[in-house]
Amino acid sequence: MKSYLAAAVQMNSQPDIERNLAQAEELIDLAVRRGAELIGLPENFSFLGEEGEKLARSVELAERTEQFVRTMARRFQVTILGGGFPVPVGESGLVANTALLVDPNGGELRYEKVHLFDVDLPDGNTYRESATVRAGSKLPAVYPSEELGNLGLSVCYDVRFPELYRHLSKQGADVLFVPAAFTAFTGKDHWQVLLQARAIENTCYAIAPAQTGLHYGRRQSHGHAVIVDPWGVILADAGDGVGIAVAEISPNRLEQVRRQMPCLQHRVFS
């Protein structure tokens, strides 16, 4: 593993896939020009609209999104995470919320989000992800990269379940991806502290691409795409607007923190 720059992309995705992919390409290009070799796109980056339309267009969305991520990785010669998009699940009428990591040589890793966001928030918004999404049934794998380190995948609501990240750290993860469309209501209180906790307790970097602003109806995201170091320090924060957070991922910093705070070696229960 070498030292390199990573970017967490922040988008304001809408129901318009053409607009969203154009915005994503522009931000990937910006990240590459700033030197990023590892780039994460947020959950729902290619489409963020009504659930019925998502299901009706799921075949198109899956095909175009997957092709986009592969094309961008090859064109810019970087490793890219497509943070979460709908992929039809057989004849079930449901989709899997799928994250896809692609390297410039065509290597890939998929993860289907296992924790679904079914909540009634105090601000009056109700979310029932399980109405259209089938939960994944497998723990996420770690993508090994000699240059970028071991990359662990997760999606949004997963961040509230520390056992998933402990699994990734036990598989040797150095970097934890948490692409999200975190709600504005919960994000203001929980987004940053949860990411810092996952990074600290697993002595890993956390790269958290995010959605921001108003999307459709009352759906609004918190923003603040961030990169967190293994000590819990916020290295970069994209704020409230569309943009990117860029920071260095350093094997020396990983080694230093894990030497000073070897909690992964002190686990009693597994």
CA distances 179 to 69, 95, 175, Å, are: 14, 18, 13
Q: Are the beta carbons of 171 and 142 closer than 8 angstroms?
A: yes
Q: Quote the tokens at residue 36.
A: 């990023």
194: Cα separation from own chain's centroid: 14
Q: Quote the tokens at residue 249.
A: 């991922």
**Side chain identity at residue 29, one-letter code:** D
Helices (H) and strands (E) in the chain, counts: 6, 16
9 forms bridges with which residues in the sheet?
244
**Catalytically active residues, by annotation:** 43, 113, 156
**Side chain identity at residue 37, one-letter code:** E
The CA-based dihedral angle spanning residues 228, 44, 127, 110, taken in that order and rounded to the nearest 10 degrees: -80
CA distance 154 to 210: 13
Coil, strand, or helix at residue 215? strand
What is the enclosing helix (H) or strand (E) of 165?
A: helix 162-170
CA atoms within 13 A on the CB side of 42: 35
